[in-house]
Amino acid sequence: MQKVAQSWLVLDMSKSPFLLGVDAFLGDIPIFLFSLIGGVVADRMDRRLLLILSQVIQLTCAFLLAFLYAIGVVQIWHILTLSFICGTAQAFGGPAYQALVPSLVEPEDLPNAIALQSIQFNMARVIGPALGGIAFTYLGYAWCFSLNGISFIAVIISLLMLRIKFIPQNSGVSVLTSMKQGFGFIRNQGAMVALIVLAFCMTLLGIPLLTFLPVFAKDVLHGDAFTFTMMLSVSGAGAVTGALVVASLGNIRNKGRVALVMLTCLGVLIAGFALSKSIVFSCILLFLAGVALIAVFALIQSLVQLITGNEMRGRVMSVYNVAFRGGMPIGSLVTGWLVPHFTAPVVLAVNGTLLFLLGLYFLSIQRRVAEL
């Protein structure tokens, strides 16, 4: 809900696709800066408490933005600053969040759990944009930000009720040494490096499809805020569908090969969406791209989690988080810079083509992932 309102507000206030990309960049770049430290912290303290602190900070930012807009003093730099603060909170909460799931389920149920985790995230993308569109169309932006802040209260209460099996061990080594141990584990796990590279490239080239939906809705398809909301909801519905498919398949064999096939499909769908001039056809492609995106995400994350032991999970998932989330700000910033020079359809079509070629490379040449 906040993403819908905030993206549209930035574009409406600045009239600049570049600043839209900057906002997404500042929301995600803290993953690069702080996530590795967050992974060490997640292996050294109560992961539930760390995640609660992250949620409280994001709640505060949402209410503050609502207040600034309500009193009529909000400026672009306010939005950008709060995006950076929220991103910092997520940099510490992300590794703890991802490391919690294996503490709650058995290894054989992990792929299903990750897929179900993806469903709840993407259900928010389906319901949130619809509510967000209604809220800022009829009630205003402040309601979107306020409702987002209220939503964190339920999350915090749920976390307080949770009982976690993981008990952090006292470590006699420094934070830097702990990080080096994490990197050493990753280097010694064969396909792990390739999985992390794939996670980075997938978000670098794939997430700009969602970041720049306002540009396609407004400038390419000549729609309005409702068009943007509809497109984002369709993409979220596709993601939920993809997660349900992965969850229903369970602990399937050849996860790596399936993930790479879905990655090549994602590239084709993004390129097709970029070249589409029809709202209906664009929505169909968005739905299918949502299916492919979440299927790749769930399968790759399942493989990373299955390879990793619990004592190293926070650090490994922080590196994965840097790759997965770190590709988002770079992709958003570079795409935001390129769009005014080459147009959004051209840039997104190139992104899709590169994803397609990346999938083919890992399927046919560098086959470590394909053999998992």
Give CA–CA dist 346/338, Å, rounded: 9
145 in a structural domain: yes
CA 56 to chain centre: 20
| Of 333, 331, 368, 370, residue with least CA distance to 351 | 331
Task: Give CA–CA dist 323/204, Å, rounded.
Answer: 9
Alpha-carbon distance of 176 to 188, in angstroms, equals 19
Note the pLDDT of residue 131: 67
**Rounded Cα–Cα distance for residues 346 and 328 (Å):** 19
The pLDDT, as a whole number, for residue 118 is 63
Structural domain includes residue 126: yes
Q: Does the residue 69 lie in any domain? A: yes
In a domain, 230, yes or no: yes
Residue 37 lies in a domain: yes
pLDDT at 169: 60
- Find out whether 61 and 343 touch, Cβ atoms under 8 Å: no
Report the pLDDT value the prediction gives residue 126, as an integer from 0 to 100. 54
The CATH number linked to 215 is 1.20.1250.20
Q: How far apart are CA 42 and CA 52, in angstroms?
A: 12
CA 34 to chain centre: 16
Nearest-angstrom CA–CA distance, 170 and 350: 48
Selection from 8, 347, 30, 20 nearest residue 206 by Cα:
347
Of the candidates 75, 92, 121, 72, the residue with the CA atom closest to the CA atom of residue 30: 92
What span, in angstroms and rounded, lies between the C-alpha atoms of 263 and 244? 18
Segment 247-297, tens digit of pLDDT: 777 677 788 899 999 999 999 999 999 999 999 999 999 999 989 988 888
Residues of the domain holding 220 = 2-364
Print pLDDT tens along the chain (372 aa).
777 788 888 888 888 888 888 888 898 788 778 888 888 888 888 888 889 999 999 999 999 999 999 998 999 999 999 999 999 998 888 888 877 777 777 777 777 777 677 666 656 655 666 666 667 677 788 888 898 899 899 889 988 888 765 556 656 677 778 888 888 888 887 788 899 999 899 989 998 898 888 889 988 888 887 888 788 888 878 887 887 887 777 677 788 899 999 999 999 999 999 999 999 999 999 999 989 988 888 888 888 888 877 777 778 888 887 888 778 778 888 888 898 889 999 999 999 999 999 999 999 988 888 887
| Residues near 177 by beta carbon (within 8 Å), at least 6 away in sequence | none
**Burial status of residue 140 (CB atoms within 10 A of its CB: 0-12, 13-18, 19 or more):** middle
pLDDT, residue 132, reads 66
Residue type, 121: F
Of residues 82, 87, 70, 75, the one with CA closest to residue 9 = 75
- Distance CA(131)–CA(133), nearest Å, equals 5
Q: What is the pLDDT of residues 332-345, one digit of tens each?
A: 888 888 988 899 99
At 309, is the secondary structure helix, strand, or coil? coil
Give the CA-trace dihedral at 344, 324, 9, 154, to 10 degrees.
Answer: 150
Give the SS3 label for residue 283.
helix
The domain tally of the chain equals: 1
Residue 115 included in any domain: yes
Is residue 329 included in any domain, yes or no? yes
370 domain-assigned: no
Q: What is the DSSP letter of 139?
A: I
CB 223 within 8 A of CB 276: no
* E-strand stretches of 1-143: none
In a 10 Å sphere around its CB, with 0-12 CB exposed, 13-18 middle and 19+ buried, how is residue 266 labelled?
A: buried
